Chains A and B, each alone.
Chain A
């Protein structure tokens, strides 16, 4: 057992740790290097844009909500601190916080209704909102002096957030940028970060795993907006002049997004890279081409944007990632072994517990029941007066030809569709129409989807972790739990592979494992066996049996007769939205109505 100080000094020689430290030191020295105000300004501006891009990335990259109105909060920050300083002599440091808080409040007011909108419309709404603010700032002359703008008299003191030299500004901007990197990094590796990425990849799947998608989006918005607003105050204090046209400008909002896209959307370092690359480019272009003619630099921007979108959608960070590891390995010190925490290895036997016999547990009220469920879509009746119940520990098969209403029933139970009428009860509690779906997950009802929905941009392990985060808060424990689940479903060897690289059979296992990680008591499986070859079918039937042996109650929609007949304790059959038969497998396979429904009448004649 090595002591902490020994561990730190030991690790320090490993490239993975010392290289970023070296970069950090270089960054810290950077502002002291230039002798020329032009370059000093460039450095401040680069750090500044890095901060802003990283803040935008929290919402646009991690959560996938494209806002083209972030300038609104930049402007709120700038105007709030400036007005408070000019009118009430409040120190801009405090004004900065006030502005940030105001921005967050405004963001909540806008975000809550707007998150419902689909991406194109959300972007439009954010543009509209920022324009309204620009407009207000331009015309509310009594407050903001309108288009003339506000000038801050130069009184360099620390409490006025004004300095004679650019150096303090550079360090403040650097500090902000490093803070953003830290925040991004912490989020990325936390439960919150996992939830954000999962909801970006597939909102429905995320909800079914207990992710409170609306709340997560809102929090991401609030953090993003908080820092954007702080940057606005910084801007005001750096330039000592603000006007509506500049701080509420649409091109500015677009620039932020541009930096992030070029750098790498959704990565920690991407926005910074984008800002560092494009800011000097912008400044030079503006100086060089802007002198020739105004607007030429924007043409270049526009073309860069178009080209990036078509040819480099993953940005620089994606490309750099392939170089970074080999580069680290080439550095001195890479050969030393790293003191690592032992990863937990779990044997498969830990996963199984004694099988429970469903016959023994007779409960007074059914574990799960559905009564007179109805749902129509316009003229089409999808589910008509369907009632059934399930005992704890049972496996209930749900059969029926295509279009019989089976998946609709799943959606009605799990909060994806509201029932027109009827009752759903789980462990004696009414959960009819419970929504949004994450609430259903939190009641320990899990589900898989007919068309599997892996989080493609995450590894197999990370996918399962999203589910496991429903039960655990810390990344470490969650990772261990997820590894156990991967062992159970047989995907351990793929734990670090991207989910998008899995075969169909493995994706189905992943879907199972992910839902299992939420520790459901009732699990709804939607055509898990379909599309698998005989060997894969055998394997997955084995896993389903093992799940049942752990005491989890299963409700299975299936078409593959073999699976249904071998697994189910009982079966109900639906046809045209109605229940036409119920019983044990042996009875069902001989039931005339069932045979009619599936094969057409006179089949056995």
Chain B
């Protein structure tokens, strides 16, 4: 289906957010259409994680509107947002270290809707990540970095997301694993799940993205198609200083 025909899944309009007295986001507006992969790039401290946390309801926005599937969600508590199908895979994975792989996955399917389809989802997830099936009784804290990332993604998938948000999934991973992670993201998207990807790894995230936003100091400074931005000299300057 051509892009202009798809519906808007998530919309942020002039979102501002504060950490105490410090303004972290200024008038951020983004739009994500169903089925897209949208990327948000920016240097450390630019506000990428803050944006995701505001969407997820972990951080309260001070002004602005967030709409998900046409419904206003900016004042909802985090657990309700997950129930609607908006799932975040946080930076640093944040697995439950003293619980097994299986328990982590089961917790991913905590919401009533997801719980019903738990069995099916487990199969899907084990199909995507066979190594997790092998290690299902192992404590999550003892997995390697790459396996932990896979588990974090799988855990997010267990919640039956319509929109999956990933916060720097390639962080701390060796180059080969990084490639794998992005391939997985592409595959998930192919299954019909819309993706919002926040990354420092510019090349991969822009190549993958249908649309991308560049964040700087809490505000959007550039937006456009993924490939388009890949060739944009401003982006190169921001990241290479040349």
Interface residues of A (CB under 8 A from B): 379-380, 401-403, 500-504, 507, 527, 530-533, 559-562, 564-565, 576, 585, 589, 595-596, 598-603
Query: Which residues of the partner chain B approach A598 to less than 8 Å between Cβ atoms?
Result: 200-202, 239-240
> What is the minimal beta-carbon distance from B216 to any residue of chain A, in angstroms?
8
> What is the minimal beta-carbon distance from B45 to any residue of chain A, in angstroms?
4
* Nearest residue, chain A, Cβ from B218: A531
CA distance A565 to B21 in the complex (A): 31
A559 with B44, Cβ < 8 A, contacts A532-B217, A576-B172, A601-B203 known: yes
Query: Which residues of the partner chain A approach B202 to less than 8 Å between Cβ atoms?
Result: 598-600, 603
* Nearest residue, chain B, Cβ from A577: B172
B residues 17-46 near A (Cβ < 8 Å) are 20-23, 43-46
* Nearest residue, chain B, Cβ from A594: B240
CA distance A561 to B200 in the complex (A): 13
CA distance A403 to B92 in the complex (A): 10
B residues 21-80 near A (Cβ < 8 Å) are 21-23, 43-46
> What is the minimal beta-carbon distance from A605 to any residue of chain B, in angstroms?
9
CA distance A49 to B175 in the complex (A): 66
Asked whether A530 lies within 8 Å of B239 as measured between CB atoms, the reply is no
> What is the minimal beta-carbon distance from B209 to any residue of chain A, in angstroms?
13
A403 with B240, Cβ < 8 A, contacts A504-B22, A531-B217, A559-B45 known: no
Query: Which residues of the partner chain A approach B217 to less than 8 Å between Cβ atoms?
Result: 531-533
Give 12 CB contacts A-B under 8 Å. Answer: A504-B23, A531-B45, A560-B43, A561-B238, A562-B238, A564-B241, A576-B172, A576-B174, A595-B240, A598-B202, A600-B203, A600-B204
Asked whether B172 lies within 8 Å of A403 as measured between CB atoms, the reply is yes
> What is the minimal beta-carbon distance from A508 to any residue of chain B, in angstroms?
10
CA distance A402 to B48 in the complex (A): 13
CA distance A600 to B200 in the complex (A): 10
Asked whether A603 lies within 8 Å of B203 as measured between CB atoms, the reply is yes
* B242 interface hit (Cβ, 8 Å): yes
* B210 interface hit (Cβ, 8 Å): no
Asked whether B201 lies within 8 Å of A599 as measured between CB atoms, the reply is yes
> What is the minimal beta-carbon distance from A598 to any residue of chain B, in angstroms?
6
CA distance A111 to B240 in the complex (A): 52
Query: Which residues of the partner chain A approach B203 to less than 8 Å between Cβ atoms?
Result: 599-603
Asked whether A589 lies within 8 Å of B46 as measured between CB atoms, the reply is no
Asked whether A531 lies within 8 Å of B46 as measured between CB atoms, the reply is yes
Asked whether A402 lies within 8 Å of B168 as measured between CB atoms, the reply is yes
A501 with B239, Cβ < 8 A, contacts A403-B172, A599-B203, A600-B202 known: no
Contact of B43 among A380, A507, A559, A599 (CB under 8 A): A559
Query: Which residues of the partner chain B approach A561 to less than 8 Å between Cβ atoms?
Result: 237-241
* Nearest residue, chain B, Cβ from A382: B172
CA distance A598 to B203 in the complex (A): 9
Residue from B45, B175, B178, B201 having most chain A Cβ neighbours under 10 A: B45
**9 other contacts beyond A402-B171, A561-B237, with CB at 8 A cut-off?**
A379-B144, A402-B44, A565-B241, A576-B172, A598-B239, A600-B201, A601-B175, A601-B203, A602-B203
* Nearest residue, chain B, Cβ from A401: B200
CA distance A531 to B175 in the complex (A): 28
Query: Which residues of the partner chain B approach A602 to less than 8 Å between Cβ atoms?
Result: 203
Asked whether A530 lies within 8 Å of B172 as measured between CB atoms, the reply is no
CA distance A365 to B171 in the complex (A): 37
Query: Which residues of the partner chain B approach A596 to less than 8 Å between Cβ atoms?
Result: 175
CA distance A402 to B178 in the complex (A): 14
B residues 172-216 near A (Cβ < 8 Å) are 172, 174-175, 178, 200-204
Query: Which residues of the partner chain A approach B44 to less than 8 Å between Cβ atoms?
Result: 402, 527, 530, 559
A500 with B46, Cβ < 8 A, contacts A403-B172, A601-B203 known: no
* Nearest residue, chain A, Cβ from B238: A561
CA distance A434 to B171 in the complex (A): 31
Query: Which residues of the partner chain B approach A533 to less than 8 Å between Cβ atoms?
Result: 217
> What is the minimal beta-carbon distance from A493 to any residue of chain B, in angstroms?
17
* Nearest residue, chain B, Cβ from A562: B241
Asked whether A530 lies within 8 Å of B43 as measured between CB atoms, the reply is yes
CA distance A403 to B149 in the complex (A): 15
Query: Which residues of the partner chain B approach A595 to less than 8 Å between Cβ atoms?
Result: 240
> What is the minimal beta-carbon distance from B207 to any residue of chain A, in angstroms?
8
CA distance A530 to B174 in the complex (A): 25
Closest 7 CB pairs of A and B: A600-B203, A561-B241, A530-B45, A565-B241, A531-B45, A403-B172, A559-B43
* Nearest residue, chain B, Cβ from A566: B241
A527 with B239, Cβ < 8 A, contacts A402-B168, A533-B217 known: no
CA distance A501 to B23 in the complex (A): 12
CA distance A596 to B241 in the complex (A): 15
Asked whether A600 lies within 8 Å of B46 as measured between CB atoms, the reply is no
CA distance A504 to B217 in the complex (A): 10
* Nearest residue, chain A, Cβ from B143: A379
> What is the minimal beta-carbon distance from A525 to any residue of chain B, in angstroms?
14
CA distance A371 to B44 in the complex (A): 28
Residue from A502, A504, A527 having most chain B Cβ neighbours under 10 A: A504
CA distance A380 to B144 in the complex (A): 9
> What is the minimal beta-carbon distance from B10 to any residue of chain A, in angstroms?
25
Asked whether B241 lies within 8 Å of A589 as measured between CB atoms, the reply is yes
Asked whether A600 lies within 8 Å of B178 as measured between CB atoms, the reply is yes
Asked whether B242 lies within 8 Å of A589 as measured between CB atoms, the reply is yes
Asked whether B239 lies within 8 Å of A507 as measured between CB atoms, the reply is no
CA distance A602 to B182 in the complex (A): 15
Query: Which residues of the partner chain B approach A502 to less than 8 Å between Cβ atoms?
Result: 21
Query: Which residues of the partner chain B approach A531 to less than 8 Å between Cβ atoms?
Result: 45-46, 217-218
> What is the minimal beta-carbon distance from B97 to any residue of chain A, in angstroms?
11
CA distance A125 to B242 in the complex (A): 58
* Nearest residue, chain A, Cβ from B178: A600
Contact of A402 among B22, B23, B200 (CB under 8 A): B200
Residue from A501, A503, A599, A602 having most chain B Cβ neighbours under 10 A: A599
CA distance A294 to B168 in the complex (A): 62
CA distance A575 to B85 in the complex (A): 36
CA distance A595 to B201 in the complex (A): 10
CA distance A603 to B175 in the complex (A): 14
Query: Which residues of the partner chain B approach A585 to less than 8 Å between Cβ atoms?
Result: 241
CA distance A507 to B202 in the complex (A): 30
Asked whether B175 lies within 8 Å of A527 as measured between CB atoms, the reply is no
> What is the minimal beta-carbon distance from A237 to any residue of chain B, in angstroms?
50
CA distance A598 to B240 in the complex (A): 9
Query: Which residues of the partner chain B approach A559 to less than 8 Å between Cβ atoms?
Result: 43-45
Query: Which residues of the partner chain A approach B175 to less than 8 Å between Cβ atoms?
Result: 596, 601
* Nearest residue, chain B, Cβ from A403: B172
> What is the minimal beta-carbon distance from B204 to any residue of chain A, in angstroms?
5
* Nearest residue, chain B, Cβ from A456: B20
Asked whether A599 lies within 8 Å of B239 as measured between CB atoms, the reply is yes
Query: Which residues of the partner chain B approach A380 to less than 8 Å between Cβ atoms?
Result: 145
> What is the minimal beta-carbon distance from A575 to any residue of chain B, in angstroms?
10
* Nearest residue, chain B, Cβ from A560: B43
